[in-house]
């Protein structure tokens, strides 16, 4: 009797898959077809690299309408405002926008507050009024590109690190950020024929003068890296503005402690928490009022100064007058 196999017939394993179809589709041995496929491969690689670069590079330009900001409009002054996300810069931007200026804010947000930018954008959403560009003034190529892509009529230069105590700990940082970056701005202004500059300096350039009160004619002898860096920047600006090539109109502001905020409460001082140790008088007053620190000591050299603060109304622009009076009286 013949054996019977009542199970399923055994199947032979499939032969290994041949990849010869690729050689049929892409015949690299054919000298006529090889260049076409190599060209396509190179183009695909380049396109992939460009896509990866665009996706990984952070956006630095955020503008409402580039064409509007790149052309001059009769009767409209376009101001480049550096450091516009900072305390003073944001208030300057608010005033300019209220007065119908066109404003471009450049800030790297290392010390500025993006919240201030959002407030300004919400207040002035109309196309062609305000644009924000996140960029670092320490990058000459980026600064030159910003000037090339925009038609500026004037520059207000507020961007700077600004803590006296920190400047003694990191002097090189201050010379780079203040003096060197100001030179970058000036070079871009010269290249693109922008003739008006308002520079934000500081009373720290005066040092400790022998005579009071301090005026614009008081000799400048700064005693810390912050004041020295600002004084160097001032000298560079003035030297360049006087040259025949520049023919530049310059205004330098040397204000003292700035305290206060927008009367409507839309903007104000918002220092970063990590900078509290380098705080200013306004922050110290707030901390004392909120109980973050036990109190605030005021150093008065003479009883006459204490009497002046306690008996005479001194306008600092806010209620800080009365805080200082009470502190002065308690320490006199």
Which residues form the catalytic set? 226
Number of domains in the chain: 2
Structural domain includes residue 67:
yes
Q: How far apart are the first and last CA of the chain?
A: 128
- Strand pairing partners for 198? 156, 251
Q: Same domain, yes or no, for 220 and 104?
A: yes
Q: Same domain, yes or no, for 69 and 145?
A: yes
Q: Same domain, yes or no, for 249 and 277?
A: no
Could you tell me how many residues make up the chain?
332
CATH of the domain at 132: 3.40.50.720
98: domain range? 61-253
DSSP code of residue 179: I
Q: Same domain, yes or no, for 124 and 70?
A: yes
Structural domain includes residue 14:
no
Structural domain includes residue 46:
no
Structural domain includes residue 127:
yes
Structural domain includes residue 48:
no
Structural domain includes residue 36:
no
**Cα separations in angstroms, 129 against 99, 121, 135, 208, 296:** 11, 9, 19, 42, 43
Structural domain includes residue 85:
yes
**Predicted model pTM:** 0.69
The alpha carbon of 257 is separated from its chain's Cα centroid by a whole number of angstroms, namely 21
| pLDDT tens-place values along the chain, 332 residues long | 444 555 555 566 665 555 454 454 555 555 555 566 667 777 777 778 776 666 665 544 444 445 689 998 899 999 999 999 999 999 999 999 999 999 999 999 999 999 999 999 999 999 999 999 999 999 999 999 999 999 999 999 999 998 888 999 999 999 999 999 999 999 999 999 999 999 999 999 999 999 888 888 999 999 999 999 999 999 999 999 998 787 899 999 998 878 778 888 888 877 666 566 666 666 677 677 778 777 766 665 554 455 544 544 444 333 333 333 333 333 33
């Amino acid at each position: 009797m013949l054996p019977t196999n009542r199970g399923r017939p055994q199947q032979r394993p499939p032969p290994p898959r041949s990849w010869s179809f690729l050689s049929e589709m892409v015949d690299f041995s054919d000298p006529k077809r090889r260049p076409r496929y190599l060209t396509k491969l190179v183009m695909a690689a380049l396109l992939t690299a460009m896509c990866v670069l665009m996706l990984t590079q952070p956006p630095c330009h955020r503008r409402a309408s580039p064409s509007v900001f790149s052309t001059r409009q009769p009767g409209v002054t376009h101001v480049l405002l550096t450091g516009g996300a900072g305390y003073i810069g944001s208030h300057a931007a608010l005033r300019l926008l209220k007065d119908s200026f066109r404003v471009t804010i450049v800030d790297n947000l290392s010390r500025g507050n993006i919240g201030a930018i959002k407030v300004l954008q919400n207040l002035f959403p109309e196309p062609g009024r305000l644009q924000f560009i996140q960029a670092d003034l320490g990058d000459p190529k980026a600064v030159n590109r910003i000037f090339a892509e925009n038609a500026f009529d004037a520059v207000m230069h507020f961007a700077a690190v600004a803590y006296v105590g920190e400047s003694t700990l990191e002097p090189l940082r201050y010379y780079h950020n203040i003096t060197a970056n100001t030179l970058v701005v000036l070079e871009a202004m010269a290249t693109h024929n922008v003739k008006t500059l308002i520079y934000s300096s500081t009373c720290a350039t005066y040092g400790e003068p022998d005579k009071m009160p301090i005026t614009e004619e008081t000799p400048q002898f700064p005693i810390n890296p912050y004041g020295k860096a600002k004084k160097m920047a001032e000298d560079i600006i003035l030297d360049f503005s006087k040259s025949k090539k520049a023919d530049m109109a310059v205004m330098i502001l040397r204000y003292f402690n700035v305290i206060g905020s927008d009367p409507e409460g839309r903007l104000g001082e918002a220092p970063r928490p990590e900078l509290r140790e380098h705080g200013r008088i306004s922050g110290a007053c707030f901390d004392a009022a909120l109980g973050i620190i036990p109190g605030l000591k005021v150093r008065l050299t003479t009883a006459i100064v204490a009497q002046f603060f306690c008996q005479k109304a001194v306008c600092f622009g806010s209620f800080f007058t009365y805080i200082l009076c009470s502190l002065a009286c308690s320490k006199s």
